[in-house]
Chain A
């Protein structure tokens, strides 16, 4: 299906010229960010990595970019390549983003656009995401870096803080006008106090180019960056007008359903034509349609619960539903690393809150013993109810909840269990049904399952699933039912279509009563007008995506460990954090990844999202990535890791592999056998 207005080819805009010298100032080339380099050492490192990249690259031919652009675009839309164009295309495909590095043979037909969802036919690169029954969950070991790294990290922050205060002190005297918004003026207190904004002004601004990068197009396997530059040390960002296509290992697109083409997008188009844009109002006030009811039934079916409720925003699902579950006199026991939305929700609920150490069952048990025996503070009355809130997959650590452990405790201590599956639903488990599926436990042994559609389903919003009594209670008492806008039909359709693709659709002659969880969805429970293509409806594509994701997760995770990096999290987790520690390295890592032959965009996170020392880069693996893409990321990490001195993992000596070994033994690393 041709685009109405095809995107201009990224290659044409990206690299207008190859500068002859690597040290030549790249002022208007549109490469990477182009902002002034922070220091001479940094520019040297950057140039070093650039030179590395150039040396590795296919001979840098000056491609007649404009003349080629149309053919590139059109063929990337096509499902099968034309043989004769291949050579020309391979030249311009030096970054490996537009076309597969390994051309498909005649037997392989890909229905996806390679830039959105990578073509990967090799069945070796597949794994099942499943917990081995009877084996204990690998405990989360926080590896410590060498002391000099820790020390230099603390010193870095100390220098940053001291410098910041010195600049504030001098700045307030020399140029008071730039501090005006932090001072009381005309009898108004400043909106932002000097103290509160210190971190933002003096630390975050230095690495602002890593954050809020505007993009365009589909957040699929690759993403199109709108290049920007800052003339004044990140106080303002200006667009250069150029674009760069980069490998996207940052979006929460776990199953690769962020697509502008394909069965789901077709269904969404049909829904826009049939239902329009909006459903006009709150669910209880005339904003509910038959599509909402179908969507909720499907979510209940998918999660294996009795009933479900859909909310139009993921953050709001937690922040508006938790207050309807607990109130004054109740206790919420929350993992210390729980998401902000859970904290927001518990804070407005009026319930008491206690925290336990991250995923630590001993800490949870001793806390439970204490709170149940002590009762409410001061009065010692027994708690009305205790709600333990955990996340299925923690978004900053990549750790999986110890669900069997929690359920064991639940039997003894009679608390209610709320599992936030924002990241794990769709991404974890042999059938993508989340952590319960992964650990092979009955989902109904959990009281409330919450999740979002933003991540694996490529949509927006969230859901709550549970027993019919609970969900009905929440329909009436949750804030969103009466006051918040209901989910729009287009988003709902994306949810329904992608969810049905993961589950597979049962043939119409199978009565819906015979289908048991976790089975396919009865075709009668989908809207009649959604016609999924055969590969999606059979569930084949969904299974393949789940298995590709599982492989990619394990491969990247074990690959990084074998290369000697310190990573966190469970090997089955699509979130792979790689520890950087020093704040200065965050900026450098981000920049060096973006300026490579194949630009890679990464998310770097630091304090306050993480503890002060453990700044990290967070990879979000997707089923859309091919094995070659993960190779690219590993190669990049390997080189940059050497330059930035990041390889401090506990894997040493003979156990440590070089990058070629890692890539050659990918199938072994990515399997679920270790």
Chain B
């Protein structure tokens, strides 16, 4: 019995040295006495607490040391393999090809894309034929593309600023001309401030995740454009969809969310309604006053994508807010494209100062991307200057829209879902019995990606429409089908021909070109019947 403690003596004496040095160093640390006193007294008062605190400390250390890789090796699904087995599995694994070759249909589609030789505009020259053609495909609503004054200003700016800005806005990429354009846009629309993005398409998919986070609620139209879909996806917010351009359905959704929230007594989260001014999928237009009424009633913030309505509708092209005479400040975020509306490049988000400042730090494609070239920013500024002072541009555009619609609306074989004033006109093939466009239901023009029967039908329509496009091209009118990413969209829209009218064409030219289209449509679909 005595032997054991005796044999421990050398061990104890060996431990004593380091222990005493540890103790003295601990005592040397300023404040150590306080800690010691605290531990002693707390232990005296409540020994259980010491154990609890010790456990907490161990837990904290364990958490810190744990590996942070996602799929942990100790998980229940992890299978232990020997080195040899791993090698065999590696040997066996054959990946799919990175990209499948194009199908013949896709190939011919790609080959049929018109390529412009020289400047694009209302009457460009085609590479394929070497002849000029009337352009009803490119976005040139206000006809700024051929403006000599803008070109001259662009050259001046080139000689002062060079081309690229060579840096993101945070790091010496903010030029005075960018700030000027931001002010011009804000002033033009009547908002407090605006922020520039360097690509129109990436604007909305960056704005949405900057504000809406996990747990926030997004209510969006079922047929919003691809960029909005991606923005919603990356925000990881809770999303509820309402029927395409049906504000009644929107209200139902808003009511049901409110009920849900009351039932669950959840915290107040950010809530957004996201929709488009003129929809890129079919040219329909949202009833803005009604929408604002709903948004105010249910206390949502409105993100309105005006890519195709900014610079195209309203007396001076200010977009939906001007068309419906609603103050822009009622819309929380107005998004537009300088590329589409002002024939330059980039996009913007206009809103209150807080909204804009927030994006300067949190908008991924603002923060991580180089700013827009100076000469393009100035071109956009000049564009705003011109359209705000020349209302005749939009009168002329509307005349053309009316002229085109007058011809197309008479046709029985097609269906036009677009709003009567929209310069973007989509043309569907009418397949079922004639239905007035106003009551065109969502499921008539959109199919779920799994509905193979409808998709096959769509394929047939698409081929016929492509025939029309090519027929018109042969007759000197450039048209395009609305191009979509098949299989990647949330809902597959019905195939359509998309016209983009321009004020740079006269009424006569527009009528002539649209007549070519009408004849071709009649010929193709007449033959089919």
Q: List residues of chain A with CB under 8 Å of any chain B CB.
A: 1, 3-5, 7, 116, 181, 184, 186-192, 196, 200, 204, 211-220, 223, 226, 248, 250-253, 257-261, 264-265, 268-269, 272-290, 292-293, 312-316, 319-320, 323, 325, 339-341, 344, 347-348, 354-355, 368-370, 372-374, 377-378, 380, 382-387, 412-416, 447-448, 452-455, 457-460, 469-470, 472-477, 479-485, 488-491, 494, 601, 603
Contacts and interface: CB of A to CB of B under 8 A. Distances in A.
Given A373-B81, A374-B78, A483 B179 contact: no
B164 A288 contact: no
Interface of B: 69-71, 73, 77-79, 81, 85-86, 89-90, 93-102, 106-107, 109-110, 113-121, 127, 135, 137-140, 144-146, 150-151, 154-156, 158-167, 169-177, 179, 198-202, 205, 211, 213, 216, 225-227, 230, 233-234, 268-271, 280, 299, 301, 337, 339-340, 343-345, 354-355, 358, 360-361, 364-365, 367-370, 372-373, 375-376, 379, 478, 480, 482-485, 488, 498, 500
B466 to A, nearest CB: 12
B118 A289 contact: yes
B95 A414 contact: yes
Given A251-B166, A258-B164, A260-B162, A316 B120 contact: no
A325 B162 contact: no
Contacts of A272: 151, 154-155, 158, 375
A268 B163 contact: yes
B234 A348 contact: yes
A260 B159 contact: yes
A490 B158 contact: yes
10 contacts: A214-B176, A217-B160, A217-B161, A285-B138, A288-B113, A319-B365, A340-B364, A380-B77, A458-B166, A460-B198
A490 to B, nearest CB: 6
Contact of B116 (A217, A290, A483): A290
A287 B146 CA distance: 15
Given A213-B174, A416-B95, 12 more contacts: A214-B179, A260-B162, A275-B120, A280-B139, A286-B478, A290-B127, A315-B198, A340-B364, A341-B369, A377-B77, A414-B93, A483-B201
A374 B280 CA distance: 43
Nearest to A385: B95
Going nearest first, the 8 A-B pairs with the smallest beta carbon separation are A286-B137, A484-B201, A473-B99, A313-B199, A280-B138, A485-B339, A315-B369, A454-B370
A368 B85 CA distance: 14
B172 A354 contact: no
Interface centre among B120, B227, B365 (most CB of A within 10 A): B120
Nearest to B81: A373
B480 A285 contact: yes
Contacts of B340: 281, 485
Contacts of A482: 226, 483-485
Contacts of A469: 97, 99, 101-102
Given A200-B361, A273-B151, A278-B345, A454 B299 contact: no
Interface centre among A3, A5, A281 (most CB of B within 10 A): A281
Contacts of B109: 476
A362 B226 CA distance: 40
A287 B98 contact: no
A603 to B, nearest CB: 5
Contacts of A273: 151, 155
B212 to A, nearest CB: 10
A284 B271 contact: no
B478 A268 contact: no
Given A272-B158, A274-B119, A348-B233, A250 B167 contact: yes
Nearest to B167: A251
